[in-house]
Chains A and B, each alone.
Chain A
Amino acid sequence: MSAMQFGIFTVGDVTPDPTTGRAPTEHERIMATVAIAEKAEEVGLDVFATGEHHNPPFVCSSPTTLLGYLAARTNRLVFSTSTTLITTNDPVKIAEDFSVLQHLSGGRVDVMLGRGNTGPVYPWFGEDIRQAVPLTVEKYALLRRLWREEVVDWEGQFRTPLHGFTLAPQPLDGVPPFVWHGSIRTPEIAELAAFHGDGFFANHIFWPASHTERMVQFYRRRFEHYGHGTAAQAIVGLGGQVFMRRNSQDAVDEFRPYFDVAPVYGHGPSLEEFSEQTPLTVGSPQQVVEKTLGFKEYVGDYQRQLFLVDHAGLPLKTVLEQLDLLGEVVATLRVEMEKDRPADVPDAPTHDSLLAASRKDTEDD
C-alpha cells in the first residue's frame, strides 16, 4: 500500500439510463454494485465506499450488510461509507455493526460519518433535522466511548441512557475503525473532525475548488489548534468524478447525455462549464491524471482520493470499463503523488497502522 489510498465511492442510486430509458431493477443495481467493488479490487484500487440512503431511488439502506458480503468476496480492498448517518442511526448499532464488520473483514474497514441532508429521513427515525448539529456531537461522542471503554455509563439528550453497557464484540485487536467525517458544505464538520483528530473528507464534487480549499485549510488549522499534530499532518480525503475514454472527445460525446440529466447537477450548467468549476474530468486517462494531481495544489498532500464512477444511469458494462482505465490512472497517480511528499505527512490510516500505533503507545506507557 502506498502513502495515499485511491478508490471509488457510490451513492447507490437507481437511475434510468438516459440513452435507453431503462432503469435497472433494485436487485440488478445491488448486484451491479457487487461487481463494481470486485472490479475495484481487481484493477488495484484500495477503497470501496457506499452511501447510506433510506428512500428510493437508492438501494443502500444497509451498508454493513453490503460491505460484509463484499468483504467475503475480496481479499485486499478496504471498505468505508460515504456516509454513515450519525444523526439518525443509533450509535450503539453503528458500534456493533462496524465492530462485527471489522472482525469479518480482518480490519479492512473504516467509517465516514455524515449528517445526511434528506429532511424526511430524520422524522422516520424519530429525530428532528433542526437538531442535526447537537445530534451529531452527542451521538459521535457516545460512539467513541463505546469503541474505547469496556463498560459505558452514559446519559444524554437524544438516546435512552446506558448503564453498565459493554460493546460486544469489542473492536478487532482493541483498535476502533478509523473515522472520517464527510462534508459537502459546512465548516461545522471540519471543526468536529479537527477536535477529535479524525480524518476530514471533503465531498469536493459538487462545489468549486475555492470552497474545498477553504474547508480543508480550516480543518488543517483547527487540527493543529487541538494539538493532534501540525496542519500538514491532518488526515484529508477528497472526492472526485471522472469519465474516461482513450480519446478525450469520445469521452465527452459518450458522457454528455448522462451529464445533462444527471441527478443533483443536471439541467444546469454545461458539461464544459461544470468541468471548469468543479473536479469533474471528462476526457483521456492522462487528463484525469493531470487534473487529479492539481488537487494537492490547494489542499496539500493528502491521504485518500475517492472517485464517483457509477451514477447517473451509466450501464454496468461502461462502469467496469471505467474501472479498467481508473486502474491505470491510479498506478500513475501513486507514483506522482509520492513525489515531493514531505516525510512527516502521514500515510493513509489503516487497521495495521492504527494497531502498530496503539502497541507503541502501550510500550511507551
Chain B
Amino acid sequence: MTELTVVSGGLREPSSTRLLADRLAASAATHLSQLGLSVNTRIVELRPLARSIADAMTLGFANAELEEAYETVASADGLIAVTPAFNASYGGLFKSFFDVLPEESLTDMPVLIGATGGTERHSLVLEHALRPLFSYLRAVVSPTGVYAATEDFGVTSDQPPLDDRVDRAGADFARLLSSCGQRVRRSAFDEEAARMERLLNP
C-alpha cells in the first residue's frame, strides 16, 4: 500500500486550496493505480492546527493533535503540499507547519507542489517559494507543480484546462514516486545518538 499524505494550507471554507489538493490527490491515485500501486490517502488540514502550530513555535514541542499530523506526514511514501499564495509567497500558516515539523521528516520524500491564488500572475510562487523550501528540506520535488487561479475554476480561462494540468502533474508524480521505491524513514534521535557513540568510541 502506498501512503499518500496531502497537506492543505487553505484558510477559507470552502477552500480552493483544498479543492486543488483533492484533485491532485485523485489524479496521483489514478496514475499510481495504473502503475499497479494501490493508494491510501490521508489529509492534513492546517487550519484546525493553527493554534497548535503557534504554540509549538513558542514552546518547542507539539501537542498530541499536531504530533499526529507530524506522524501522518513523516510516515508517508509521498506528499502533496498545497498552499494559497499570499504576498508573493506561500501562506504563513503553511510555512509555519514546515518550520515546526521535526527535522528529517521530509528527507527523500517525493513531493508534489501546488498553489492557488486570485490571479494567474502569481503562478511562479511554485518555482520561487515552494520548490526551494522542499529542496532545502531534502525532499524530492516533482518537476511538475500546479498553480490554480480563481478563473481556472470557471470556464473562461485561456490557459490549458486545469484538469489537463492536474492530470499531467499526477502522472509525473506517480512516475517519480514509483521510481523512488520504498522510502526508509530517518530518525534524528537515532542519528544523533549514533554520532555520539562514534565520537566516544573512536
Question: Which DSSP category, helix, strand, loop or mixed, fits chain A's interface?
Answer: helix
Known A133-B195, A187-B193, A191-B197; judge A211-B55 contact (CB<8 A). no
Across the interface, name the chain A residue whose C-beta is closest to B189: A187
The digit string for A180-217, where 1 denotes a CB below 8 A from any CB of B, is 00000111101110010000000000111001001000
Q: Which of A134, A186, A222, A274 contacts B199 (CB 8 A)?
A: A134
A273 at the interface (CB under 8 A from B): yes
Q: Which of A188, A265, A273, A277 contacts B58 (CB 8 A)?
A: A265
Residues of A within 8 A of B158 (CB): none
Residues of A within 8 A of B155 (CB): none
Residues of A within 8 A of B189 (CB): 187, 214, 218
State whether B60 touches A191 (Cβ < 8 A). no
Interface residues of A in 254-281 (CB under 8 A from B): 265-269, 273-274, 277
Most buried by B among A137, A190, A206, A268: A268
The A-B contact count (CB < 8 A) is 56
Question: How far apart are the CA atoms of A277 and B45 in the complex, in Å?
Answer: 23
Across the interface, name the chain B residue whose C-beta is closest to A265: B59
Q: Closest approach, in angstroms, between the C-beta of A335 and any C-beta of chain B? A: 33
State whether A206 touches B59 (Cβ < 8 A). yes
Question: How far apart are the CA atoms of A207 and B192 in the complex, in Å?
Answer: 18
State whether B61 touches A133 (Cβ < 8 A). no
Question: Which DSSP category, helix, strand, loop or mixed, fits chain B's interface?
Answer: helix
Q: Which of A188, A211, A267 contacts B192 (CB 8 A)?
A: A188
Known A214-B189, A267-B58, A269-B55; judge A277-B196 contact (CB<8 A). no
Q: Which of B190, B193, B199 contacts A190 (CB 8 A)?
A: B193
Residues of B within 8 A of A277 (CB): 61, 63-64
Q: Closest approach, in angstroms, between the C-beta of B48 and any C-beta of chain A? A: 15
Question: How far apart are the CA atoms of A277 and B55 in the complex, in Å?
Answer: 12
State whether A137 touches B200 (Cβ < 8 A). yes
State whether B61 touches A207 (Cβ < 8 A). yes
Most buried by B among A186, A188, A211: A188
Interface residues of A in 103-153 (CB under 8 A from B): 133-134, 137
Question: How far apart are the CA atoms of A274 and B63 in the complex, in Å?
Answer: 9
State whether B60 touches A206 (Cβ < 8 A). yes
State whether A269 touches B59 (Cβ < 8 A). yes
Q: Closest approach, in angstroms, between the C-beta of A55 and any C-beta of chain B? A: 20
Across the interface, name the chain A residue whose C-beta is closest to B191: A187
State whether A268 touches B58 (Cβ < 8 A). yes
Residues of A within 8 A of B59 (CB): 206, 265, 268-269, 274
State whether B196 touches A188 (Cβ < 8 A). yes
Shortest Cβ-Cβ A-B pairs, 5 listed: A268-B58, A188-B196, A191-B196, A187-B193, A269-B55
- Pairs across A and B, CB under 8 Å, 15 listed: A133-B196, A137-B199, A187-B192, A187-B193, A187-B196, A188-B192, A190-B193, A191-B197, A195-B201, A206-B59, A207-B61, A214-B189, A269-B59, A274-B59, A277-B63
